[in-house]
Structure 1
């Protein structure tokens, strides 16, 4: 047996900086290369695949080989005629890099075993299998599955599956268990448990006698058209997957051990050219071995792997196990988002792997160093998160307007920013170009709502499209929701109808101070909870609560509301800084505040939530400010 040598075209671990995204060949910087130098570069690139795999474990873009095109030598063609480095178009309409550059071929060893034994052997030698992420240890053999009628004929030709052998199996079963299956009498409890233990496989016990079907329902079978056969029905289902690209492919390139004699003759005339010169072994599977076993002979394998060849119930089963050489191809779809961007971006650049998901939109917040690569980053994010993500956008500037809307640039995908998303069992329709939404505050919103009771009346001063107001409406008695942005109010009304909560929510479109005065001066339901989720300047609206009950007498029993106000702080002690701003806005020194850090929005900048009961002295103050 020989160790197959592969030609490896070595690529630099990182691509050129913009505007070029093509790999560099590691050649001399001298422009004029002699044929001797080309030959030296080629011989240096000819290495065995298993020697390269010793550098690091697992799949990597720095390992493996590129797929060879027929009648083409990639080393000589690249050395003599290096590829022209294409410039990335400024409009970004074209693809900024070639996906084929990320295809890698790895030479590995595998054990070819009968399909009925693959799960059993996988459990026994799992530690010696490939165990790569997103790659199954069991692979199908192309062209190995044949119709049952043809398989029955081939098995009869081998002398297997005859009536005499079936009678022998039944006789042995009667000797072991006392009864054979189909005799009409059930086995005893002891023999039945022993039978179950021997039939255990990867899918669980087979045919439990008294087990109710409570684990999971059966999949709904698709109705076939009248007169349609099973094969035609399966063919229509397979049409849906024709356009889907396979990220992992396994191909047998050499059969090394255990092939034996070609019993059964040439089957190419009966089964096709795929079986030319081969014997029929029945349905088989490939157990992919660890990458360190590539190129090794049978005698060099561990004892646990050798035992898989030697054990079997019959000589036919033993001869059907063999050691084969395979090519494992990993395409662009296999590699993760970070692995592709690590190869495309410069070496010292931070990989922008985190983004916010809003429905079908991926919202990036790229730094200045990432902007020259924004189209490349967006394409990779879109490719690796389809079909959930259909649009990739980037925030151009910080939020600076009164409506809290963001300037967004569509980098990849469709240009529709209207989407529907789900949060805590509720559905929200939004237009990300006209309203504000932050999915990262979902946990904080849920925590806040857990503080409310069924007797509360909520006043949401800056509600937006209603993530807090609509979620709270399912729990509290009544909700008053307000926002200054007319587009946000429009989507708020849509979302109340979408979630069938329009009867419990009253929507307003006015300034925050006017809204606070209007709600507390009305003789409707007394407000017990106030939410002010405008972190940029919500504290400035607290002065609207000064003297909010000045027109009422103190003898009357009034409920002082619990106020939840959000804000940002860049101070060394953000809690103290935020507390001071609250006391200044209320003009009251004695304010008991429960402070909580929500999240860090930037280095040294915290978002905080302060919860406190409105002081009675502030509520009955006579110095109420005029509403603006």
Structure 2
């Protein structure tokens, strides 16, 4: 018989996150009663929990909550004070990280990268291999420098002559210049246009040092450095050897060391190895260091300290917005793209920060996005156009959208366009055949009508907005489909009555009514459209695709009821599907059905 003995277990206090202690259902209550006595603390112990370090909550990898923030330049501070609402200080998002790196020969960098993959930095958009400035040289020169002839003086002298010919254009004892191109290049680097020898930094050495001016120059160089080098800069921290300072002042900033080590690369190590010595590194890295120490006598892998600076351009849009907006505010992360325009739907809480949000959206989506707008009010007008406010970028709202291989020119100030319905439009177009004749009652600028014209036999497109009709005709001409599209500018009911009372009604097989707000109410125009025609077998009844919104708990049932009320027909076989969730609790639906014969030949028609 086995006996079980319960032993009290004491949990370390600092291992409990303070957020669990502040919840309504305490973290302590989830433990058995046996352990309650082990986590009961005094008031002094609870005060320690409030100072729980935030760094433990930061995830692995680069973050704006980690690293060192450099000092802000006086010019930026002055500009920020002048315009606090609209000014975005990009320098405030610069972070400097201390990392360690291995200086390895360039020919072995890829092999060592694969070997030490689990111990490298592996940050997004940061390569694990970094190039060391000033270490590269022509491979042929490397062979001349590293060639050992085992006491063969003739071969060694020949190597020196060959090296002189490559550098100076002629060798010792040669009367003629062997390489005119190299000779002219050497002269151009040695003398200026007036014939004087160039010493670029000679005047700088003779000047007295001015600390204040030097600091201003460093700040200016830093701002130029950001624009020139993109989103990240790696700087190697190494002690300057004796004599290197004088040579650096004489030869310029390009001179890094007075001893050339050959072409090398830097393997950036994981951030947890920053500031550690060789003894504290993992065994895999120690094995590589020991292996190269035995194998190579001319070069040994060395551990160096580096500063990795990440600028504003490195961080993603959501990271910048999380740092700009208050903590309790939801970060806007999605927007609709219409050509080069980003369409935002900001909440009321975002409006005080709308300029900053638009600036970040514009910066992080260039060059695709050139204009950022926000919808200021819901759609109430007759033409269903949106009231937009330009927040950043170009103020032109005329753009070009490419959908299904067709180019549409759109002016968001005068017409309506929704890029989120592209998938639904593609699904609808896939149901058309080349023998169909389509009637688009609310066509807009023609996303369905023009796309359908490439598939079907004929398209009749209508819209009440004269600006939309103008762009519809223009887009049909640009896409060379004007011969297959007939354009109308009428009210929806009048268009249905006029078209189906003509001879064109016999050929219509598909009717699209994409006006979700009140398209279902226009279905009453189909009552009695064939009442003056004889009932013969050649008459076709079109298939109607009508879109609508519903906020009911059962949106399909509610939308079906609206269709039956408009048609005044009880039994209507409707194929219903949900298109997308427009807002919380508000669905956009598509109902497809064949026009009932009883509705088409009804004696009581719509009274216009």
1:66 lines up with 2:62 in the alignment: no
1:551-594 alpha-carbon deviations (Å, 9 max, x no partner): 11112421111000000011111100000000000000000101
- Other structure's SS at 1:319 match: coil
1:424-466 alpha-carbon deviations (Å, 9 max, x no partner): 2111100010000000000000011111111111000000000
Task: Sort the Cα spacing of 1:477 and 1:506 in 2 relative to 1 into closer, same or farther, 3 A.
Answer: same
- Other structure's SS at 1:251 match: strand
The structural deviation recorded for 1:522 is 1.9
CA contact (8 A) 1:600 1:606 kept: yes
Q: 1:435 aligns with which of 384, 409, 415?
A: 415
Q: Which residue in 2 is equivalent to 1:157?
A: 145
Farther off after superposition, 101-110 or 128-137? 128-137
Distance 1:552 1:317 in 2: 101
Q: Which residue in 1 is equivalent to 2:397?
A: 417
- Alignment of structure 1 residues 369-518 onto 2, 5 Å: 369-518=349-498
Task: Sort the Cα spacing of 1:546 and 1:317 in 2 relative to 1 into closer, same or farther, 3 A.
Answer: farther
Which structure is higher in RCO with an 8 Å CA cutoff and minimum separation 6? 1
1:124-145 alpha-carbon deviations (Å, 9 max, x no partner): 1111111111211111112333
Give 5+ residue unaligned stretches, structure 2: 1-53, 156-184, 186-224
Q: 1:303 aligns with which of 279, 283, 302?
A: 283
1:118 lines up with 2:109 in the alignment: yes
1:4-32 alpha-carbon deviations (Å, 9 max, x no partner): xxxxxxxxxxxxxxxxxxxxxxxxxxxxx
- Other structure's SS at 2:592 match: strand
Q: 1:248 aligns with which of 232, 250, 272?
A: 232
Q: Which residue in 2 is equivalent to 1:347?
A: 327
* Rg (Cα) greater in structure: 2
Q: Which residue in 1 is equivalent to 2:123?
A: 132
Aligned residues: 482
Distance 1:355 1:84 in 2: 30
Q: Which residue in 1 is equivalent to 2:33?
A: none
Distance 1:254 1:53 in 2: 31
CA contact (8 A) 1:64 1:104 kept: yes
Distance 1:532 1:435 in 2: 17
Q: 1:613 aligns with which of 575, 578, 594?
A: 594
Distance 1:83 1:69 in 2: 10
Distance 2:344 2:600 in 1: 43
Distance 2:483 2:452 in 1: 13
Distance 1:273 1:352 in 2: 45
1:101 lines up with 2:92 in the alignment: yes
The structural deviation recorded for 1:117 is 1.7
1:585 lines up with 2:585 in the alignment: no
The structural deviation recorded for 1:279 is 2.3
- TM-score, normalisation: structure 1: 0.71
1:86 lines up with 2:81 in the alignment: yes
1:537 lines up with 2:537 in the alignment: no
The structural deviation recorded for 1:389 is 0.6
Task: Sort the Cα spacing of 1:314 and 1:498 in 2 relative to 1 into closer, same or farther, 3 A.
Answer: farther
Greater helix share, structure number: 2
Distance 1:52 1:397 in 2: 42
CA contact (8 A) 1:594 1:610 kept: yes
Task: Sort the Cα spacing of 1:55 and 1:540 in 2 relative to 1 into closer, same or farther, 3 A.
Answer: closer
Task: Sort the Cα spacing of 1:489 and 1:160 in 2 relative to 1 into closer, same or farther, 3 A.
Answer: farther
Distance 1:308 1:327 in 2: 23
Task: Sort the Cα spacing of 1:252 and 1:276 in 2 relative to 1 into closer, same or farther, 3 A.
Answer: closer
- Alignment of structure 1 residues 327-342 onto 2, 5 Å: 327-342=307-322
Distance 1:621 1:160 in 2: 105
